[in-house]
Amino acid sequence: MIAVRLARADRQVVCVGTTRTVGAIRTSGLTLAAPDGTFGEPVEAVDQLDRPVDLLLVTVKAPGLEAALGRVPAEAGLVVPLLNGLEHVDAIRARLRSPVAAGSVGRFEASRDGPARVVQTSPSAALTVPAGAADALRVPGIDVRVDDDERRVLWEKLARLAPLAALTALRRRPLGELRGDPDLRVAVAEACEVALADGVPTAFAEQWAVIESLPDSLTTSAARDVAAGRPSELDALVGAVVRAGRRLGVPTPTLDRLEAECRAL
């Protein structure tokens, strides 16, 4: 989605991917089917980034991170991972020599319909990025918010996403059928307590207001991956909050139970 929006705004874009994805992009370009239209862009695609770039966006899911980092030997002016979770930023810093600053994608729902086609079902996409990346990403179809506080960027989404991912994957039901589940409320409250202990005040009321604003049909990519038998990012979400709670001395009994159930999926 980001690559198509940037290319449409005449940004120079290079997609780095697996051999299958690169082959599909080279053959037919990238296609984004979104509420504001269907757009195709003939962007450049490579399976190894062999030249420096100004901005490198890391947009894979957690299970694919290690392999993805092996495809970017070249340096970047700034690396902005848009993964969910807490622990990936340190992992990327340990592997790449370029400066790294956290970002996140909010209120965005989409799925892949083939290796080079993305179907966006949410009305828009919101990116939270460091100041150094904002100007490059301000294009039609993307709402950009600037935040250089790394922990806040990560926790603001994770405090609600970890519980939502766990319950949509375990219950196999959309959000509209889960708002009344007591486990969801308690798990969000526990995640907020861990965030607070990690130096990020995020109130339960604020997180729950966001959940209330989301469409009833919403599910999570983790739930879709579990249902399809693919590797999921549940450990990077639920597991990361549980591990942070243990590190910070914050009990998370409901999240502990949900994390154990997720591991059994």
Angle at which helices 240-248 and 182-197 cross, to 10°: 50
In a shared domain, residues 45 and 141: yes
Per-residue confidence (pLDDT) for residue 219, from 0 to 100: 92
Q: Please tell me whether residue 6 adopts helix, strand or coil conformation.
A: helix
Range of the domain at 48: 2-147
CA distances, 128 to each of 149, 253, 265 (Å): 10, 30, 31
19 shares its domain with 125 = yes
Handedness of CA 26, 225, 84, 121 (dihedral sign): positive
Pair (162, 142) in one structural domain: no
Same domain, 200 and 158: yes
8-32 pLDDT per residue, tens: 999 999 999 999 999 999 999 999 9
Percent of the chain past pLDDT 70, that is, above it, reads 100
What pLDDT, in 10s, does the model give residues 95-148?
A: 999 999 999 998 888 889 999 999 999 888 999 999 999 999 999 999 999 999
Q: What is the pLDDT of residue 106?
A: 87
Are 142 and 157 contained in the same domain? no
pLDDT mean across residues, the chain: 96
CATH number at 179 reads: 1.10.1040.10
Residues pairing with 127 in the sheet:
105, 144
Overall domain count for the chain: 2
Write the CATH number for 64.
Answer: 3.40.50.720
> Does residue 229 have a pLDDT over 90?
yes
- Whole-angstrom distance, CA of residue 236 vs CA of residue 190: 17
- Verify that 34 and 113 share a domain, yes or no: yes
Residues 25-52: tens digit of each pLDDT: 999 999 999 999 999 999 999 999 999 9
Shared domain for 8 and 139, answered yes or no, is yes
pLDDT of 154 higher than 90: yes
94 pLDDT higher than 90: yes
Which pLDDT belongs to residue 105? Answer: 95
CA distances from 233 to 39, 51, 106 (A): 29, 30, 16
Task: Find the mean pLDDT for residues 195-219.
Answer: 95
User: Minimal CA–CA distance to 117: which of 62, 47, 55, 39?
Assistant: 39
Number of Cβ within a 10 Å radius of residue 212: 9
Q: How much is the pLDDT for 86?
A: 96
Its pTM stands at: 0.94
Rg of the chain on CA atoms, in Å: 18
Coil, strand or helix at 38: strand
Are both 111 and 161 inside the same structural domain?
no
Which pLDDT does position 217 carry in this prediction? Answer: 93
Statement to judge: residues 101 and 205 lie in one domain = no
- Pick the range with the lowest mean pLDDT from 98-112, 155-169, 174-188: 98-112
Q: What percent of the chain shows pLDDT beyond 90?
A: 96
CA–CA separation, 179 vs 183, rounded Å?
9
The four Cα atoms 65, 249, 148, 49 give a dihedral, to 10 degrees, of: -10
Q: 107 is written with which tokens?
A: 């209120």
Determine phi and psi for 232, rounding to 5 degrees.
-115, 170
Same domain, 143 and 155: no
